[in-house]
Amino acid sequence: MKTNNFVKQLAIGLGLSAAMVGSASAATMITSFDYTQEFEWVEPINPAGVVKEGATAGVSDVDGFTKLSWGNPSNDFGLPSSLVINPEAGDSTTPSNNLTSGSGATGLMVSTDVNATTFALGPVVTHNNYVITDPENQSLQNTMAEDYVVLTPAGGGADQVQEVTFGVSFTETLNRPEAPGSCPAGVPFNGFGCGDIFALGSDLLELATAQLFNGTTLAFLIDSFSVDGFTYDVYVAALGLGPLSAEACAAADAGENCIGFTTAENQENSFQLEFAILATENIPEPATLGLLAASLLLMGLVRRRKVNGSLSA
């Protein structure tokens, strides 16, 4: 009888563990998020002579700028070089100061398959890479870029906030149109000279965290959060963003295996950040739950026998 009771209680425990697994599996995944994104250049910005302008319109959580410019123009545009976030349509040198957002069909769709993922569009960054004089003494050297994103689950739920800061090391290469071989490997050359180099510094931007989405898009993990039994990994990508050559990393003084992009000389160079979320379900191992339940029941039986034995004595 005692053995039968033990077997019955063990079976009950295993049944409870299976029910726990079923309950965990029944959690509902968030399928999409509405998002509002603010992206600005923030201090420290070097050298001190860099001109800082603009700020994102509306409610702001980032204290920065939407345009940085530098250098004495030596180009047909009559303009300094500049970095502009979300420029006005038809004018790459003037920031719109608008937030980036998406909702509903244009929101951030959640995927469970790295080969079937839709990216949501983030801010546009334009480098007006114009020829300037005395670039070694006037050009931007480094800045920080802060990205603040509020994700609102479709159908309701608590907002998720991502706040990521990237370091940006900028190298204005010497323009030597007469010497095509003077460019570091991997840096574009045209009739105006070598392109410029951006190296992004962040503990988050590592090749070890990169994923190849849809067989074509290299994206980097920047955040993870869990809601109701699911983990949501947030990835960022941009056309041209990826590992730089060893020579370009060295020219940017960014160390080995740096990540960034290059821009062509005397051109407007634009890229758009893109974001994706890859979700995975956190399912407890059935065997682990079963062993735990059995262990607890066994401990309870041993304790009861000890108590009963002491009472009968």
pLDDT at 103: 96
CA distance 27 to 23: 7
SS3 state at 209: helix
Domain match, 163 and 97 both:
yes
Q: What is the pLDDT of residues 120-152, one digit of tens each?
A: 999 999 999 999 987 666 789 999 999 999 999
**CA-to-CA dists, residue 254 to 180, 202, 274, angstroms:** 23, 11, 24
Domain match, 156 and 61 both:
yes
CA distance 207 to 256: 12
Angle at alpha carbon of residue 150, lines to 55 and 126, rounded to 5°: 40
pLDDT at 275: 95
Dihedral sign computed on CA atoms, order 201, 207, 213, 218:
positive
Q: What is the pLDDT of residues 190-242, one digit of tens each?
A: 999 999 999 987 666 778 889 999 999 999 999 999 999 999 999 999 989 99
Domain match, 74 and 163 both:
yes
CA distance 122 to 88: 15
pLDDT above 70 for 1:
no
272-291: b (≥16 Cβ within 10 Å) or e: bbbbbbbbeeeeeeeeebbe
% of the chain residues with pLDDT over 90 = 63
158: tokens are: 């608590």
Domain match, 153 and 36 both:
yes
pLDDT level of residue 179 (50, 70, 90 thresholds):
confident
Domain match, 75 and 113 both:
yes
101: tokens are: 């957002």
Domain match, 300 and 222 both:
no
Comparing 55-59, 159-163, 226-230, 309-313, the range with the smallest average pLDDT is: 309-313
Domain match, 129 and 269 both:
yes
Domain match, 11 and 151 both:
no
CA distance 46 to 40: 15
**CA-to-CA dists, residue 12 to 8, 107, 287, 291, 293, angstroms:** 6, 45, 15, 13, 9
pLDDT at 281: 95
pLDDT higher at 173 or 40: 40
CA distance 262 to 243: 11
Mean pLDDT of the chain: 85
pLDDT at 204: 65
pLDDT above 80 for 22:
no
CA distance 274 to 176: 34
Domain match, 260 and 292 both:
no
pLDDT at 312: 46
Domain match, 118 and 171 both:
yes
DSSP string, 4-53: HHHHHHHHHHHHHHHHHHHHHHTPPPP-EEEEEEEEEEEEEEESTTSEEE
44: left (phi > 0), else alpha (psi -120 to 50), else beta? Answer: beta
Domain match, 232 and 268 both:
yes
Give the total number of structural domains in the chain. 2
Q: What is the pLDDT of residues 65-108, one digit of tens each?
A: 999 999 999 999 999 999 999 999 999 999 999 999 999 999 99
Domain match, 194 and 290 both:
no
Domain that holds residue 38: 32-281
CA distance 194 to 131: 11
DSSP state of 207: G
pLDDT at 176: 80
pLDDT higher at 312 or 115: 115
Cis peptide leading into 95, omega within 30 of 0?
no
